[in-house]
Amino acid sequence: MMNESKSIPSPTTATPVTFASLNLAGPLLASLAQEGYETPTPVQAGTIPPALEGRDILGCAQTGTGKTAAFALPILHRLMRDPMDKSRRGRPPARALVLSPTRELATQIAESFRVYGRGSGITGTVIFGGVGQGSQVRALRAGVDVIVATPGRLLDLMEQGHVDLSGITMFVLDEADRMLDMGFIKPIREIAAALPPEGRQTLLFSATMPKEIRGLAESLLRDPVRVTVTPVSTTALKIEQKLFWVPRQDKFDLLSHLLGSEDATRVVVFCKTKHGSDKVCRKLTQTGVSATAIHGNKAQNQRDRALDAFRAGRVKVLVATDVAARGLDVDGISHVFNYDLPMEPEAYVHRIGRTGRAGASGVAISFCDHEERDLLRQIERLTGKKVPTAPIPDGIVRQVLPPSPESSYDTERSGGRPPRGPRPERSHREPRHNGSSTHAHPLHAPASPQPAPARGERRGRDGEGSRGKASAARPQGAAKPFVHPKDKGKPKWASLGKGKVTRR
């Protein structure tokens, strides 16, 4: 149970430290030096010392702050300090388990373990869905020290008897709030129930801390150390945010214009739907902009190729849905475009967090149509600040001004449309339907006023009264109604109300 927690001092007041002062193992320090890392980020400086002591960790830090190294380094250090007993028969059980919400994030976490653990002898594997399970099962049978997995595929392999979690001593939940959004809380609890209850260290990291995540933490953590680097639901300080009020039909023209800037060197464009992502990517390619798309309908090899091309700089623009909002760890992203505002306000923080990573600066630009103004209000309510509005460049598109406070009620009732003007006055002698329409097609010609049918008669389609089937001649020049040959001779149906029908 989570009884009391210890808060880490603010990174602005904490004494600067180095990785060498954290008493990490020699091979880990050599790998960090080879990668050019000397000074830990605030979340790493606050997490690594208590994690090395075996304490549970509750970390609240936004993406791009170095959370992966914050839990990977202490796990590798402890695994090297306590080597596995290889004299025992059978396959050695895994000792560390890391759960992540997406395939991309799981792959990047596994890569971080490989890079940091270079020369340590620690083995690991990554497990996720969307691909065949054969190679994953073979790796588990061979025995590994670290398992990085998404909850869905791991639970499937557990039910098939391919995973042994009896030796897990370190358990990590990364991006817990994202897993909550994706409906993984129940699978997480099932996986946690299969872990050894005693002698287990648990580390939980989340960018936001809703009540469901707090409840999960209380059930999994014991006397945790709370590491809070930035306030919950805040955006990075070095990200310049802009908002353009633009009609939906003009968003692409504005996007094309802004992508022409020399500063837009590596860009991520977020769309709301998979179809919308493909459409924007296709139109960008047609205009000569190198672009690729990534979303849940893409096969894993397609997603890998798209990310590799984007990382290598062969593609300038990556168009994505929120599946890539977390786990997309690419250096040097200059701009993030919210082509569509996200349905969940927390996703806005994670989207724009793709730029301005590791202390760098970046630009986050959002397009907002009148229909999305409620989503914008939710984002500003969550972050506690208004997104600065920027004027649309001249000659690009017609700018849509935000609704004024005094007219917000009328605007909401009209669905964002401008109010109608006054109706033209009509003389009291002018009939409501005077047949003054000037349609050219004979079917749209105005009909002459017809007298009401006599009692016992019903008016046919052509306006003539009849006691039987309406058989009066059609207006001259009118087209004959089309009847499919298969429908000729079939009985007609008449409604009796409440869903009942009968044959005439």
Q: What is the DSSP string of 405-470?
A: GGGHHHHHHTTTPPPP-PPPP--TTS-SS-------SGGGSPPPP-PPPPTT-EE-TTS-EESSS-
Instruction: Give the torsion sign (CA, 483, 484, 488, 490).
Output: negative
Any domain includes 455 = no
Residue type, 413: R
Is 202 among the domain residues?
Answer: yes
Mean pLDDT by 10 residues, the chain (504 residues): 46 63 92 89 92 93 80 95 70 90 89 91 92 92 94 94 93 88 87 90 87 89 87 62 93 93 91 92 94 85 87 92 69 91 84 74 91 92 89 69 44 43 47 45 47 50 44 54 59 50 50
Has residue 444 been placed in a domain?
A: no
Residues 16 and 67 in one domain: yes
> What does the alpha-carbon distance between residue 334 and residue 264 come to, in Å, rounded to a whole number?
6
CA-based torsion, 203, 205, 210, 212: positive or negative: negative
- Domain assignment present for 458: no
The pLDDT score that the predictor gives to residue 127 is 95
Task: Measure Cα distances from 316 to 21, 234, 311, 332, 338 in Å.
Answer: 40, 28, 9, 11, 16
Q: Are residues 64 and 33 in the same domain?
A: yes
Residue with tokens 């205009």: 287
CA atoms lying within 13 Å on the CB side of residue 75: 36
Tokens of 478: 């009118």
How many angstroms separate the first and last alpha carbons of the chain? 72
Query: Hey, what are 387's tokens?
Result: 């997104």
Asked if residues 331 and 108 have their Cβ atoms less than 8 Å apart, the reply is no
- Residues 127 and 99: their CA atoms lie apart, in Å, by 10
Give the residue carrying structure tokens 């287990």: 200
Whether residue 257 contacts residue 307, with contact meaning beta carbons closer than 8 Å, is answered with no
Contact 367, 374 (CB under 8 A): no
Q: Which residues, 6 or more positions from 277, have their beta carbon under 8 angstroms from its beta carbon?
A: 271, 293, 294, 295, 319, 320, 321
Examine the domain organization and report whether 264 and 325 are in the same domain.
yes
One domain, residues 124 and 268? no
**Do 165 and 95 fall within a single domain?**
yes
CA-to-CA distance for 377 and 293, rounded, in angstroms? 28
pLDDT of residue 443: 42
Q: Which two tokens stand for residue 55?
A: 């304490």
Tell me: do 165 and 28 sit in the same domain. Answer: yes
Domain boundary among 393, 413, 433: 413
For residue 448, being part of any structural domain is answered with no
Report the C-alpha gap between 118 and 396 in whole angstroms.
Answer: 52
Token digits for 343?
A: 């349905």
Torsion of CA 286, 287, 289, 293, to 10 degrees: -40
Domain hosting residue 169, numbered range: 6-228
Same domain, 259 and 152: no
Quote the pLDDT of residue 326: 58
| Residues paired with residue 203 on neighbouring β-strands, in sequence order | 57, 172
- Residue 344's domain is classified under what CATH number? 3.40.50.300
**3-class SS at 495?**
strand
Asked whether residue 398 is domain-assigned, the answer is yes
Q: Per the structure block, which two tokens stand in for 247?
A: 């009609």
Sign of CA dihedral 192, 198, 201, 207: positive
Whole-number pLDDT of residue 168: 95
Q: Are residues 243 and 322 in the same domain?
A: yes
Same domain, 293 and 267: yes
What's the length of the chain? 504
The pLDDT, as a whole number, for residue 417 is 45
Is residue 328 included in any domain, yes or no? Answer: yes
What is the phi-psi region of residue 207: left when phi exceeds 0, alpha when psi lies from -120 to 50, beta otherwise?
A: alpha
- Last residue of one domain, picked from the residues 200, 228, 256: 228
My answer on whether 30 and 105 are in the same domain is yes
Among 228, 258, 274, the domain-final residue is 228
